Amino acid sequence: MEYTKKTWNENHKILRQLLKKESTFKDGIDLFMDQHARIHTSDVSKIKSITFEDELWEGMDEVIFRTGQNKKGRTVAYGMWHSARIEDITMNLLVVGEDQIIDQDNWMEKMKSSIYGTGNDLDSDSILKFSQTIDMQALKDYRKAVGKKTREIVFSLTYSDLKAKTLEAGLEKAIALGAVANDENALWLIDFWRKKTTAGILLMPVTRHNLVHINESMEAKKRGLRGKK
**Burial class, 18, CB count within 10 angstroms (exposed 0-12 / middle 13-18 / buried 19+):** buried
Q: Where are the domains of the chain?
A: 60-228
The pLDDT score that the predictor gives to residue 229 is: 60
pLDDT truncated to tens, each residue of the chain (229 aa)? Answer: 689 999 999 999 999 999 999 999 999 999 999 999 999 999 999 999 999 999 999 999 999 999 999 999 999 999 999 999 999 999 999 999 999 999 999 999 999 999 999 999 999 999 999 999 999 999 999 999 999 999 999 999 999 999 999 999 999 999 999 999 999 999 999 999 999 999 999 999 999 999 999 999 999 999 998 876 6
Q: Where are the alpha helices (DSSP H) in the chain?
A: 5-18, 25-37, 42-45, 52-57, 62-67, 76-88, 107-111, 124-133, 136-155, 159-162, 168-177, 184-194, 198-201, 208-228
Length of the chain: 229
For the full predicted model, state whether its pTM sits above 0.95: yes
Please give the CATH topology (third level) of the domain spanning 60-228: Four Helix Bundle (Hemerythrin (Met), subunit A) (1.20.120)
The pLDDT score that the predictor gives to residue 1 is: 63
Q: What distance in Å separates the CA atoms of residue 198 and residue 51, rounded to the nearest whole number?
A: 25
The pLDDT score that the predictor gives to residue 227 is: 72
